[in-house]
Chain A
Amino acid sequence: MAKTDFIIEVNHVSKQFEDGKYALNDVSLQVKKGEFVTILGPSGCGKTTLLRCIAGFQVASSGVILLKGEDVTQTPPYKRPVNTVFQKYALFPHLNVFNNVAFGLKLKKEAPETIKKKVRRALKMANLTGYEEREVDTLSGGQQQRVAIARAIVNEPEVLLLDEPLSALDLKMRHDMQIELKELHEKLGITFIYVTHDQEEALTLSDRVVVMNEGKIQQIGTPTDIYNEPQNCFVADFIGESNILSGTMIRDKRVEFCGQEFDCIDTGFGENNPVEVVIRPEDIYVWRREDEKRGKILGQEDDDYEDRVPKGKFTKWYGEVQTCIFKGVHYEMRVLTPDGYEFLIQDYHEFLPGTEVGMLVRPEDIQIMRKEHYIYNYFEGEVMKNGKVRFLEAEWDVEEKQLEGFEAGEKVQVRVKFRDIDLQDYEEEGTLSGEVHFILYKGNHYHLTIRTDEGYDLYVNTDDVWDDGDRVGIVIPKNKIRIDKITN
Chain B
Amino acid sequence: MSKLVQIFSSRRTWAWPYVLFMALFVILPLILVGVYALTDIDGHFTLHNFAKFFTHSEAIQTFLYSLMIAVLNTLICLLLGYPAAYIMATADFRTPKVMAMLFILPMWINFLLRTVATVELFNMCGLPLGEGALLFGLCYDYLPFMIYPIYNTLQKMDTSLVEAAQDLGASRWQSFWKVIVPLSMPGVYSGIVMVFMPTVSTFAIAELLTHNNIKLFGSLIQDYITTTDLLNYGAVLSLVLLIIIGLTSFFGDHDAKEEGGGLV
From A76, A88, A93, A103, give the contact of B165 (CB < 8 A): A103
Complex CA–CA separation, A152 to B164 (angstroms)? 9
B182 lies within 8 A of A94 (CB): yes
Among residues of A, the one whose C-beta sits closest to the C-beta of B159 is A90
Q: Is the CB of A83 within 8 A of B168?
A: yes
Complex Cα–Cα for A55 and B183 (A): 24
Say which residue of B171, B174, B179 sits within 8 Å of A92 (CB atoms). B179
Whole-angstrom distance between the Cβ of B28 and the nearest chain A Cβ: 43
Decide: A108 near B169, CB < 8 A? Known: A88-B158, A93-B183, A94-B183: yes
Q: A86-B163, A90-B158, A90-B161 are in contact. Are A104 and B169 (CB under 8 A)?
A: yes
Chain A contacts for B163, CB-based, 8 A: 57, 77, 84, 86, 90
Tell whether A433 is near chain B: CB-to-CB under 8 Å.
no
Q: Is the CB of A90 within 8 A of B160?
A: yes
B166 at the interface (CB under 8 A from A): yes
Q: Is the CB of B167 within 8 A of A78?
A: yes
Contacts A78-B171, A107-B174; A92 near B166 (Cβ below 8 A): no
1/0 contact string of B169-186 vs chain A (CB within 8 Å) = 111001000110011000
Q: Verify B169–A88 contact, CB threshold 8 A.
A: no
A151 CA to B161 CA, complexed, in Å: 13
From known contacts A90-B158, A93-B183, A107-B174, infer whether A76 and B166 are also in contact, taking CB-CB under 8 Å. yes
- Given known pairs A93-B183, A94-B183, A107-B174, the reply for A78 and B169 (CB within 8 Å) is yes
Find out whether the CB atom of A104 lies under 8 angstroms from the CB atom of B183. no
Is B169 a contact partner of A92 (Cβ separation < 8 A)? no
A87 (CB) vs chain B CBs: closest residue: B160
Residues of B near A92 (CB, < 8 A) are 161, 164-165, 179, 183
A155, B164: Cβ atoms closer than 8 Å: no
Contacts of A86 in B (CB 8 A): 160, 163-164
How far apart sit A76 and B168, CA to CA, in the bound complex (Å)? Answer: 12
A88 to B159, CA, bound (A): 11
Interface centre among B161, B165, B167 (most CB of A within 10 A): B167
Q: Sort chain A's interface into a size bin.
A: 20 to 34
CB proximity of B128 to chain A, nearest CB, Å: 45
Selected from B161, B164, B168, B182, the residue in CB contact (under 8 A) with A107 is B168
The residue in chain B whose Cβ has the minimal distance to the Cβ of A86 is B160
On whether the beta carbons of A104 and B168 are closer than 8 Å, the reply is: yes
Which residue, of A82, A87, A103, A151, has the highest number of chain B Cβ atoms within 10 A? A103
Q: Which residues of A contact B165 (CB under 8 A)?
A: 92, 103
Contact with A along B140-176 (1 / 0, CB 8 A): 0000000000000000001011011111111100100
Q: Which B residues are CB-close (under 8 A) to A77?
A: 163, 166-167
Which residues of chain B have C-beta atoms less than 8 A from A55's C-beta?
167
Nearest residue, chain A, Cβ from B92 = A18
Q: List A contacts of B160 (CB < 8 A).
A: 86-88, 90
Find out whether the CB atom of A107 lies under 8 angstroms from the CB atom of B170: yes
Chain B residue nearest to A102 (CB atoms) is B168
* Smallest CB gap from B164: residue in A: A90
Q: How far is the CB of B188 from chain A (nearest CB, A)?
A: 13
Nearest CB in chain B to that of A106: its residue = B178
Q: Which residues of A contact B167 (CB under 8 A)?
A: 55-57, 77-78, 82-84, 152
Contact B182 A151 (CB under 8 A): no
Residues of B within 8 A of A84 (CB): 163-164, 167
Query: How far is it, in angstroms, between the C-alpha of A90 and the C-alpha of B169 when the chains are bound?
Result: 15
What separation, in Å, do the CA atoms of A82 and B169 have in the docked complex? 10
What separation, in Å, do the CA atoms of A91 and B160 have in the docked complex? Answer: 9
User: How far does the alpha carbon of A145 sit from the alpha carbon of B170 in the complex, in Å?
Assistant: 21
Q: Closest B-chain residue to A57, C-beta based?
A: B163
B27 CB, min distance to chain A CBs, angstroms: 38
With a 10 A CB-CB cut-off, give which of B164, B170, B179, B183 has the most chain A CB atoms: B164
Q: 18 other contacts beyond A92-B183, A107-B168, with CB at 8 A cut-off?
A: A55-B167, A56-B166, A77-B167, A78-B170, A78-B171, A82-B167, A88-B158, A90-B161, A90-B163, A92-B164, A92-B179, A103-B178, A107-B174, A151-B164, A151-B168, A152-B168, A155-B168, A155-B169
List 21 A-B pairs, Cβ < 8 Å. A57-B167, A76-B166, A76-B171, A77-B166, A77-B167, A78-B168, A78-B169, A83-B167, A84-B163, A90-B158, A90-B161, A90-B164, A92-B165, A94-B182, A103-B170, A107-B169, A107-B170, A107-B178, A152-B167, A155-B168, A155-B169
CB-CB nearest 10 A-B residue pairs: A104-B168, A90-B160, A90-B164, A77-B166, A107-B169, A94-B182, A84-B167, A78-B166, A78-B169, A104-B169
